[in-house]
Structure 1
């Protein structure tokens, strides 16, 4: 497992001569909404597609950033498999960075992926239960969404989030 840095430790490292490279693996839209100054945006799916090329280009310490740390952990695993060993994860992600009151660059505000997943999953469940009053069997759609969310929690992955990340709204 990659070493994690808490927000205060990262803040200190950013002022040092051997400043790490910051890579934010959230979607382009999330990055546009807010990011740590000096961070570069490489969304998780793009990082996974170009991991070997990215790993070859990074010769300094790297700190991976996402919303809370989940996607950064997946990105770290991807880069480690490509031979990159100088990778750290911002513990708690940009949420922890903000909690400490550190500076973020803000742009156009958009919903993060987690909020989009909650909206879409909630709508599908609510509408399928209501529609099952007219069309018998539609309650199984709600069951499937619930099972999918349970699987996402157990495996720490989210297929719906990965699909939503590819929508034009999440790409600038």
Structure 2
């Protein structure tokens, strides 16, 4: 009979203050920021690596080969990082943690952040697009009554996104050129992970 302990089904949390202490004392884990390149460019933890969630999902096996150490996953508020943890946990990667509260919590404790050109975060874009579609569908329904069902479809999609902690609209928006920003392909990311501190972005 297998007596090995079961793996936790929820990501191991790590608060911003503890992560900052680890980075300051030189016992730094590998910090992976799974937001879009545009969000990463706007602000990120110094020394972190940008590995967008969609790319991580598609190439988790290749990336896992370069993640043989303690890893902390970061996003805006923690939701996408939790999805990334589930993806990497499936590859057998140990010592995974999720930064509680994401980059927002990191900034709230006054921890250092590298700033770049401001971009709208993905959650804000989702609210704009979903709200615009709902508004337009209601207005159009005055002439074409069937258009109201588009608003219902968006509402159902948002409800499903909350239940499953995923967002198809966010995934689609994340692939737009606006959100891709600077080049962030698999070869570049693997090179940065392989080279370690010398290959990471500032």
Which of 27, 30, 35 aligns to 2:44? It is 35
Q: What CA distance in whole angstroms lies between the structure 2 residues aligned with 1:14 and 1:31?
A: 19
2:17 matched to 1:13?
no
1:23-66 C-alpha deviation (Å, 9 max, x unpaired): 00000000000000000000000111111111111122111000
The gaps in structure 2 that reach 5 residues or longer are 1-9, 182-202
Q: CA deviation at 1:84?
A: 0.3
> How does 1:104-123 map onto structure 2 within 5 Å?
104-123=113-132
Equivalent residue for 1:48?
A: 57
Q: Any idea what SS the aligned residue of 1:89 has? A: strand
What is the TM-score normalised by the length of structure 1? 0.97
Moved over 4 A (4+): none
Superposed CA RMSD in Å reads 0.8
1:42-101 C-alpha deviation (Å, 9 max, x unpaired): 000011111111111112211100000001011111111001012111000001001111
The gaps in structure 1 that reach 5 residues or longer are none
Equivalent residue for 2:111?
A: 102
Q: CA deviation at 1:18?
A: 2.7
Q: What CA distance in whole angstroms lies between the structure 2 residues aligned with 1:127 and 1:17?
A: 53
